[in-house]
Chains A and B, each alone.
Chain A
């Protein structure tokens, strides 16, 4: 668009746009116009939609409840049909004692009424209280995450926070982790750790007290370099001078201290290094750079900045020093610089090259440094060409590039720097542990490929024993296909590859899933979300996204579980996340301990819950065949009301909250335990089917054993005891005992609370039983507490206890048998861990980072984009100019508000 101001037209393009989230540097103020706001900003558009997240178990549960509902209706239909048949053949003869009411106008209609009666009676099979209990469990699990002192970071004083309480068990099923790089894997702190000057490697603690301008935070561990600096070694001095001059850093004085504003942290690291060794970059103007060299202030005339870009992979400055000599200083990727060197530095190049390999082997990011002395005349000629080309309209970029290369040819090598991109604490260990748990980790980063690969190596994601690391990059689907075809043969043996992602296609996904490690570089926040969505949609796997910045928000929101690292980059990621903590390494505890426990507990809880409800309810079904399908309940109404709420809820809750099959240390020591969650082994449709069958069998035995005994039973004093109330009390008591024993078998970890709840519930059952059937309550409401005396008379019978004992034994033994057989014939991972723990032979797992050989040339330390050079030389950002006439427009397309 264009801006008309006092008759002049100004063009408005992307370069004059400030995006939301930008920070103004070295600019005190600027005029701006908001052209897109709120939801229209790039940041918000990249955020993606907020979805309602639900766990797989949740969805499964809904399906199962529907199934149960269908099952309930089936039972209703069977019993209603039974009722119609019964009324037709038998009930008719009974009319004399029990005449039909006005509602019961025919056998079919009677069946219809019976259907609804049975729906009401059998509705306890649909676990309504399940949903409430599940929420309580999740809340409890979330609190355990919040309370975990091992996920608390002392430095930042942040504890882990479960910001949602609905996703906990999903943490035990994660298959894919999508991680941001900067701030998540790395601390985003670059440290100047080594350098090679003129063939000599420097790098081990140094005392910077000789230098007043040193930065306290800087650490460098080699005195020899300091000595060299102090001895005024010319190569060393030139090396440091280059570092102090060749950059696009801005300096600022705040509170009497020198503060650098760098475009990228590695550049800041280099300039800070030079400053500490006595070559402090002081200030700059569009035409000059002031450096404090070993206490002396020297001003260089800045003639040109040949800026960095992706193809050049280097940047140069041309300066005129105080003596009038013109020099070109260049830093860049070693491969590029080596090509441009003067033949005279060939020997040095070989030495340096080897040293670079060494640095690279340590996972350091390297840069080669070179310089060139220029003739006055040569420079003038070149400068003229340069100015001419700058104004050419056609093919300007290419011509400029050729011109740059011309002047940079024939440089002399000075040395190389090695910068360490500091990883967060415990990252490689965490990653290898998660890998052992079969979790695939994808790194999605906006960084360049080289940086990304480098981090891949230092994080242990890529190792040297992975031979087929290769890069896939394509801009269209066809291109990607072509790549695919070429890689296809390698796919089988190849384990990992790096993908530079341009288009998201299923082809990509198929390929990526064959890889052990995937690193996607140069992805926008929206693309991060798309990658996650792709995996989520096509792999049906649980995904987890970790990130710390605003650019990770979309991916955090898209994935099943979003984890925010509360770091330096603000709160957006944390606010969008489901779980947040301070360090990447807590992820292993969150997944392998809390996630696994949550999943394990939830699965056991659900299995037991369905079992319990089936065992409880289906007794009515069996009784239907003996009571003319008349919808007569087996139990006392009060028992039906209280069974789920009072008699059995607390033990199962205690199990769901406190149970542990393996303690946290062993969970971490054996990451393979996590696989049962990924494969959905502990609770699935098969498991559900098994536990319903178990419940049905129990109800069958619970009904038919007392039936067998009661049909012929009389009391010790001769009075009959086969009445319905005695039967009800016997079955209810057996049921409560059986389900209590069953939960005892399901529990692996009996804390005091578990004991209290299990024994308390049993005791509570008897207390309430006697209270409900006491004389007092009967006296108040005789029609409601009509079971008066039943418990007293029934439970004082030895035969009743014999029946209860028999029922309990018969219900429990098969389950115990199956459990034992399964434990010895088909031991699960957990059983094995138990066994190995028992034998006091903890598996030693070598999680240490293997020492790498330098088979690979490291990436160079340059992660920023072009554009700053121009900015500096144009002087637009200089504070001294004071008149910031630049008009920044926010967001694209200024046309809409042209008239303002």
Chain B
């Protein structure tokens, strides 16, 4: 309005006759009419239907096998043993037998599953120091206060990696055996490449080595209280898979959104027979080094074998949800059609 003062003349205060100021901007004015809504409803229903059917067919081709070993078979003993904290240091192994009726074709993935384990509690999720696990020297020696009470041990030595998340890391291990006519064969598992690229290469780094060995770098820190081995000895076979970039650690550190979850343990190494085409049908056993206690929180542990499709593992929710949605949209579309058929003309009459 200040600008208008500069003008003079008889029409000095006349507002600009521009489309914007007169609210006459050219505009698209969509309307909800039968001709626009109905086709889109039918189209959407069709798309959902096709997607649902496609997903369902895909899912039918995937296979999944869950073996709950919490207290099954010989694991019962271990389960009892882990009830007592004083036995934490003692080793316990057990074995579960299971059989696969239909061969798993293609890549097979082995997961450990936990039920009723809350990785999504706010204090739990906060109890970590990303700076420390990025390899920052300062954070290594003085972990963030978020890690309390797992930041330093009783003597004041900093814990690496600090926090409740790392401390509660899942530490059972599995050996899968396939029983052929010729006798048992250990199923070869690949235990690397389990993580996101960004986790392995960006988010987690070991502290700078400067010609030191990994144990030397971590000198002055101690392992988390529930761990049996320090962080630089997590993988006894591959020195490059130790420290903060250990695959198992990384998998664990990516906290699950819900209390029931499964995390990748490894996948089938398909170079040698009889596993070139996947897991053949037959009898299997899994030998478990039973360390992780679940009875405190009434949890369950399981081993999951699965194959994957183009949209991930076996997931019945999506195809069913798509089919249901498609059905509902179709229903509403039909209702709308009827309504328009019967009342459309009345609606027009109302205008008169």
Interface on A for B, CB 8 Å cutoff?
90, 93-99, 101, 117, 144, 146-150, 152, 154, 157-159, 597, 626-628, 630-633, 658, 660, 664, 705, 707-728, 748-754, 775, 778-779, 782-783, 786, 788-789, 792-793, 797-799, 802-803, 806, 809-810, 813-814, 816-817, 819-821, 823-825, 827, 831-836, 839
- A99→B37 CA distance, assembly (Å): 56
Partner of A97, one of B14, B167, B195, B314: B167
Contact between chains at A778 and B111 (CB < 8 Å):
no
A115 to chain B, nearest CB (A): 14
A residues in contact with B202, CB < 8 Å: 775, 778, 788-789
Count A-B pairs with CB separation below 8 Å.
290
A710 x B124 contact (CB < 8 A) = no
> In the complex, what residue of chain B is closest to A818 when comparing beta carbons?
B332
**Contact (Cβ within 8 A) B48 A809:** yes
Further pairs besides A724-B125, A728-B257: 13, Cβ < 8 Å: A90-B116, A94-B118, A96-B297, A157-B10, A630-B121, A719-B264, A722-B261, A750-B27, A783-B131, A789-B199, A789-B203, A798-B312, A823-B32
Which of A713, A752, A810, A836 has a CB less than 8 Å from the CB of B351? A836
CB of A724 within 8 A of CB of B255, answer: yes
Is B212 located at the chain interface by the 8 A CB criterion? no
B94 within 8 A of A: no
Judged by a CB distance under 8 angstroms, whether B296 is at the interface is yes
Report which residue of A149, A797, A799, A824 has the largest number of chain B beta carbons within 10 angstroms of its beta carbon. Answer: A824
Residues of A near B343 (CB, < 8 A) are: 824-825
Residues B25 and A712 in contact, CB atoms below 8 Å apart = no
Task: State whether the Cβ of B44 lies closer than 8 Å to any Cβ in chain A.
Answer: yes
Tell me which residues across on chain A come within 8 A of B256, comparing CB atoms.
720, 722-724
Q: Does B171 contact A (CB under 8 A)?
A: no
B115 to chain A, nearest CB (A): 11
Instruction: Please tell me if the beta carbons of A719 and B258 are within 8 angstroms of each other in the complex.
Output: no
B residues in contact with A144, CB < 8 Å: 21, 23
The 8 Å CB contact of A94, one of B55, B149, B297, B329, is: B297
The reply to whether B121 and A720 contact each other, CB–CB distance below 8 Å, is no
Assuming the contacts A147-B22, A718-B109, A802-B51, asked whether A724 and B15 have C-beta atoms less than 8 A apart, the reply is: no
B22 touching A149, Cβ below 8 Å: yes
B162 to chain A, nearest CB (A): 12
Interface residue B134 (Cβ < 8 Å from any Cβ of A) = yes
**Nearest Cβ distance between residue A637 and chain B, in whole angstroms?**
11
**Are B203 and A778 closer than 8 Å at their CB atoms?**
yes
**How many angstroms from the CA of A710 to the CA of B315 in the assembled complex?**
9
Q: Are B339 and A806 in contact (CB under 8 A)?
A: no
Question: Which of A148, A716, A786, A820 contacts B312, CB < 8 Å?
Answer: A716
Q: Which of A627, A717, A754, A820 touches B121 (beta carbons < 8 Å)?
A: A627
A632 touches which one: B12, B31, B116, B122 (CB < 8 A)?
B122
The 7 closest A-B CB pairs, nearest first, are A789-B198, A714-B313, A93-B297, A147-B21, A718-B109, A727-B257, A632-B122
| A705 to chain B: closest residue by CB | B321
Measured CB to CB, the closest approach of chain B to A656, in angstroms, equals 13
Within the complex, what minimum Cβ distance (angstroms) separates B171 from chain A? 13
B68 nearest CB across to chain A (Å): 16
Bound-state CA distance A778–B133 (Å) is: 12
- Considering the chains assembled together, what is the distance between the CA atoms of A719 and B251 in angstroms? 9
Q: Are B121 and A632 in contact (CB under 8 A)?
A: yes
CB contact between A157 and one of B12, B118, B255, B314 (< 8 Å): that residue: B12
Stretch binding the partner chain, chosen from B174-182, B213-221, B232-240, B303-311: B303-311
Cross-chain contact B25 with A714 (CB below 8 angstroms): no
Given A627-B122, A783-B129, verify A90-B22 contact (CB < 8 Å): no
Q: Which of A626, A720, A782 is the one whose CB lies under 8 Å from B264?
A: A720
| Chain B residues, Cβ within 8 Å of A820 | 32, 34, 37, 336
Q: When chains A and B are docked, how far (Å) is the Cα of A101 from the Cα of B314?
A: 40
Distance of B310 from chain A, by nearest CB (Å): 6
CA distance A839 to B33 in the complex (A): 14
User: In the bound complex, do residue B312 and residue A821 qualify as a contact, i.e. CB atoms below 8 Å apart?
Assistant: no
Known contacts A101-B149, A149-B17, A719-B264; decide if A821 and B118 are in contact (CB<8 Å).
Answer: no
B183 interface contact, C-beta 8 A: no
Known: A159-B14, A632-B125. A835 touches B347 (CB 8 A): yes
Q: B42 CB to closest chain A CB, in angstroms?
A: 12
Residue of A nearest to B298 (CB): A93
Contact B312 A827 (CB under 8 A): no
Nearest chain B CB to A536 CB, angstrom units: 31
Say whether B120 faces chain A, with CB atoms less than 8 Å apart. Answer: yes
Known contacts: A147-B15, A627-B120, A658-B23. The answer to whether A810 contacts B310 by CB under 8 A is: no
With a cutoff of 8 Å between Cβ atoms, the chain B residues found around residue A146 in the complex are: 1, 15
**Is A713 within 8 A of B118, CB to CB?**
no
B22 interface neighbour in A148, A778, A779, A810, Cβ under 8 Å: A148
Residues of chain B in range 80-102 having any CB-CB distance to chain A below 8 Å: none
Q: B133 → chain A, closest Cβ, in Å? A: 8
Is the pair B120, A632 in contact by a Cβ cutoff of 8 Å?
yes
Q: Is the CB of A714 within 8 A of B196?
A: no
CB proximity of B268 to chain A, nearest CB, Å = 10
Closest to A833 in B: B351
Chain B, 244-264, contact with A by CB distance < 8 Å: what is the 0/1 string?
Answer: 000000010011111111111
Closest to A97 in B: B168
Contacts of B134 in A (CB 8 A): 778-779, 782
B174 to chain A, nearest CB (A): 16
Instruction: Give the residues in chain A near B336, CB-CB below 8 Å.
Output: 817, 820-821, 824
Which of the residues B27, B168, B313 comes within 8 Å of A713, measured between beta carbons?
B313
Contact (Cβ within 8 A) B315 A799: yes
- Assess whether A750 is in contact with B28, with CB atoms less than 8 Å apart: yes
User: Nearest CB to that of B118 among chain A residues?
Assistant: A628
CB contacts (< 8 Å) of A626 on chain B: these are 120, 257-259
Interface: B272 (CB within 8 A): no
- Does B297 lie within 8 Å of A90, measured CB to CB? yes
Partner of B311, one of A716, A753, A782: A716
| B13 → chain A closest CB, angstroms | 5
B262 touches A720 (CB 8 A): yes
- B71 at the A interface (CB under 8 A): no
CA distance A67 to B121 in the complex (A): 30
A823 surroundings in chain B (CB, below 8 A): 32, 347
Expressed in whole angstroms, the minimum distance between the Cβ of A582 and any Cβ of chain B is 10
Q: Is the CB of A782 within 8 A of B120?
A: no
**Other-chain contact of B308, A98, A159, A714, A748 (Cβ < 8 Å):** A714
B 30-55 binary contact with A (CB < 8 Å = 1; else 0): 11101001000100100010010001
When C-beta atoms are compared, the residue in chain B nearest to A143 turns out to be B21
Determine how close the nearest CB of chain B comes to the CB of A160; give it in whole angstroms: 9
Chain A residues, CB < 8 A from B347: 823-825, 827, 831, 835
Chain B, range 169-219, C-beta contacts under 8 Å to A = 194-199, 202-203
> In the bound complex, do residue A658 and residue B296 qualify as a contact, i.e. CB atoms below 8 Å apart?
no
Residue B156 CB within 8 A of the other chain: no
